[in-house]
Chain A
């Protein structure tokens, strides 16, 4: 149930996104991440609006890794950090990373590191195209600080992607 994308800019490196619902062991998954045993970025599905948002965060992470400019532990944690418009690492993780009571999550894997995380998840794989069912738009507006005036100049996704891309330069 993965959706694969090829990052042509980076020698054809690929990224896979998958969505899980009815996840029963988010606490355990989060523990494994903290212990460094998970080679994936694992996100709260409620704050995921569209694949483009996650891909914008992923491209930044891969680019930072290639240039030796990661701000967090590894490229996977960097994806989680990049999802946020905030420059606080703690704040980004606690909002966009998997939470203990999450029932829906989005898993981002780079290259071929996919298989191992999927066996850890006790939940149901669902098509990524169904993401909007799990998206909490009000929370997205709140977390990214998006007011109505901004939505007259473009979509919510436009606002989110622009924030992710320029977070090092703009304070929100």
Chain B
């Protein structure tokens, strides 16, 4: 009996970002994505190498921590340190939460009713991260994958290159603010939907909640002032 393992020759470019490429391959016989971080030409090479390494390390640590606290993340299969590449489970039969919301909002269908429970799930997940002092650092609806069927609201969190552990209310407030900004610019006129995230968040992260919420308000205010001045 013999089966072929390792990354197959045929690799498909799924996404090309500013700092990373995502390829779909087969590895150890499993559907896999390779997230490769590459140098940015405008940065100093030595600085760039250490930044790239730090991001990859942050991603691996946060993914490990998420799994430990029961938050779903891709399985890690292999790390190629020299190529700054993480081989991880390819979450198939999924959409980004971003694409899902946009699709639903563009239609007039019955699917609208799925959005509220979905937002509740998003809020609960972020609440779980924060109650374990894990800051995601880049919360957007593109960094959340939603498994089919969408009605089950099974979400897998990804893209942890900016994540870190920190207990302070300020960092949690900023994390929420980053999400709010990203959310409202990707999904215009969705303040009501975003409010569902916040209320589920409040249920899931009771520890020091008042401080977190007042920091959130504070950063929001600062953001508003800045945009009025600038």
Which A residues are closer than 8 A to B by beta carbons? Answer: 3-10, 14, 52, 55-56, 59-60, 63, 67, 147, 149-150, 152-154, 158-159, 161-163, 165-166, 168-170, 172
Contact = CB atoms under 8 A, between A and B. Distances in A.
B218 to A, nearest CB: 32
Top 7 closest pairs, chain A to chain B, by CB: A9-B6, A8-B6, A152-B70, A165-B76, A162-B76, A169-B60, A4-B2
B63 A147 contact: no
Given A9-B7, A166-B60, A170-B61, A150 B78 contact: no
User: Which interface residue of B76, B80, B81 has the most chain A CB atoms within 10 A?
Assistant: B76
B190 interface: no
Contact of B28 (A59, A149, A170): A59
B71 interface: yes
B31 to A, nearest CB: 13
Contacts, number: 95
Given A162-B64, A170-B61, A56 B5 contact: no
B27 to A, nearest CB: 8
Nearest to A160: B75
Interface residues of B, number: 36
B82 interface: yes
B151 interface: no
Interface string B71-96: 11101111111100001010000000
Contacts of B9: 8
A153 B6 contact: no
A153 B73 contact: yes
Given A6-B5, A7-B5, A165-B87, A153 B66 contact: yes
B70 A150 contact: yes
Given A56-B28, A59-B6, A63-B80, A166 B1 contact: no
Contacts of A60: 78
Contact of B67 (A3, A56, A159, A169): A159
A56 B77 contact: yes
B79 A169 contact: yes
Given A152-B70, A165-B87, 7 more contacts: A6-B6, A7-B5, A8-B4, A8-B7, A9-B6, A161-B75, A168-B81
Contacts of B187: none
Nearest to A59: B78
B72 A154 contact: yes
